[in-house]
Amino acid sequence: MANQTLEIPISGMDCAECTQHVQHAIEKIPGVQSVNVFLATEKAIVKLDPAKVDLPTIRTAVQGAGYDVPASDSPRPAPVSIDDFNRRLTLLLVSVFAIILSVVIFGEVLGWFDFLNERVPFLLGLVVVLAGGYPVFMNVIRATLKRQVISHTLMTLGVIAALVVGQWVTAALVVIFMRIGDYVENFTTESARRAVKELTSLAPQTARVEQIGLEIELPITQVKVGDIVVVRPGEKIPVDGEVVSGQATVDQAAITGESMPVEAARGTHVYAATIAKLGSLRVRTERVGVDTTFGRVVKMVEEAEAHRADVQRIADKFSAWYLPVVAAIAALTFLVTRNPLSTAAVLLVACSCSFALATPVAMLASVGASAKRGLLIKGGKYLELLARADVLLVDKTGTLTLGQPQVTDVISLNGLSRNEILSVAASAERYSEHPLAEAVRQLARDENASLSEPQEFESVPGQGIRAVIDLRRIAVGNRRMIPAAEKLPITAELESQGKTLLFLESNNELVGIFAAADTLRAEVPAALKEVRALGIRHIELLTGDNERTASALAEKLGVAYRANLLPENKINIVKEYQAKGHVVVMIGDGVNDAPALAQADIGIAMGAAGTDVAIEAAHIALMREDWNLVPDALRIAQRTMRIVKANLLFTTAYNVIGLTLAAFGILPPVLAAAAQSLPDIGIMGNSARLLKQK
Please, what is the Cα angle at 246 between 245 and 249, to 5 degrees?
135
Of 14, 182, 240, 395, catalytic: 395
Contact partners, residue 629, CB within 8 Å, separation at least 6: 373, 374, 375, 622
Q: At what angle do helices 151-164 and 340-349 cross, to 10 degrees?
A: 160
The Cα–Cα gap between 227 and 271 comes to: 15
| Cβ atoms of 225 and 242 closer than 8 Å | no
**What is the number of helices (H) and of strands (E) in the chain?**
25, 23
- Pairing state between β 584-588 and 391-395: parallel
Q: Residues of 603-628 as b/e, b for ≥16 C-beta within 10 angstroms?
A: bbbbbbbbbebbbbbbbbbbbbbbbe
Contact partners, residue 504, CB within 8 Å, separation at least 6: 421, 424, 425, 474, 475, 476, 510, 511, 512, 513, 514
- The alpha carbon of 242 is separated from its chain's Cα centroid by a whole number of angstroms, namely 27
Cα distances (angstroms) measured from residue 159 to each of 113, 154, 168, 340: 15, 9, 8, 11
| Nearest partner of 126 among 174, 155, 175, 163, judged by Cα | 163
| Cβ atoms of 167 and 341 closer than 8 Å | yes
Q: Is 78 left (phi over 0), alpha (psi -120 to 50) or beta?
A: beta
Neighbours of 449 (CB within 10 A): 20
Is 626 annotated as catalytic?
Answer: no
User: Any idea what DSSP says for residue 318?
Assistant: H
Residues labelled catalytic: 395
